[in-house]
């Protein structure tokens, strides 16, 4: 049940992250890219599908929420979720970004593409800032929700079990 809850938290956290990205990309034009990173990744590996892009985004977010809860068990906290998200962000910068053609930390040659190209990326520094921002959103959500919903019952039950244990304080006279 705990890992199912973690998967639900991953889906919800991924949805919140997606909403923030959509607002940033399409409403306020804050990001240096014009398509979701999952879309750009799939385009660069030859798959042109928004449906698969969303499936990849939600699967990835769900997987890492489950890994977080499985790895830390009842010790999941908001800060651990945030730290975990920063590890995922770093992995994105050094693995996925080069695969997308955006270069390490966004310092590739995709700024040479037409601004209407789905693989266009205007600047590296803005890419770093915008991707850190959405990973912070994901990390806060996945950390807080897992801490307060997924593992809260485990912590509560463990505390109750400890308080029900008989006090076996043994003193010895020396």
Contact 88, 14 (CB under 8 A): no
Contact 113, 119 (CB under 8 A): yes
Q: Would residue 116 count as lying in a domain?
A: yes
168, part of any domain? no
Tokens (6 digits) for 166: 């008989």
In a domain, 170, yes or no: no
Task: Tell me how far apart the alpha carbons of residues 90 and 86 are, in angstroms, rounded to a whole number.
Answer: 6
Tens of pLDDT, residues 4-38: 999 999 999 999 999 999 998 888 877 888 888 99
Give the C-alpha separation, 99 to 135, whole Å. 19
Domain that holds residue 65: 2-159
The model's pLDDT over 55-113, given as tens digits with 9 standing for 90+, comes to 999 999 999 999 999 999 889 999 999 999 999 999 999 999 998 889 999 999 998 99
Return the bridge partners of 121, or none: 33
The verdict on residue 174 lying in a domain is: no
């Amino acid at each position: 049940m705990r890992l199912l809850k973690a998967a639900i938290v991953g889906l919800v956290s991924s949805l919140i992250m997606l909403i923030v990205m959509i607002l940033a990309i399409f409403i306020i034009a804050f990001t240096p890219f014009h398509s979701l990173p999952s879309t750009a990744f799939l385009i660069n590996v030859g798959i042109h599908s928004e449906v698969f892009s969303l499936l990849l985004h939600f699967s990835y977010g769900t997987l890492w929420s489950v890994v977080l809860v499985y790895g830390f068990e009842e010790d999941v906290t908001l800060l651990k979720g945030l730290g975990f998200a920063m590890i995922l962000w770093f992995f994105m910068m050094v693995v996925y970004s080069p695969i997308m053609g955006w270069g390490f930390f966004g310092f590739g040659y995709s700024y040479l593409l037409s601004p209407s190209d789905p693989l266009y990326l205007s600047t590296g520094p803005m890419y770093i800032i915008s991707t850190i921002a959405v990973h912070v959103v994901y990390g806060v959500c996945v950390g807080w929700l897992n801490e307060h919903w997924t593992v809260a019952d485990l912590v509560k039950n463990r505390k109750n079990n400890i308080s029900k244990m008989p006090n076996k304080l043994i003193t010895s006279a020396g």
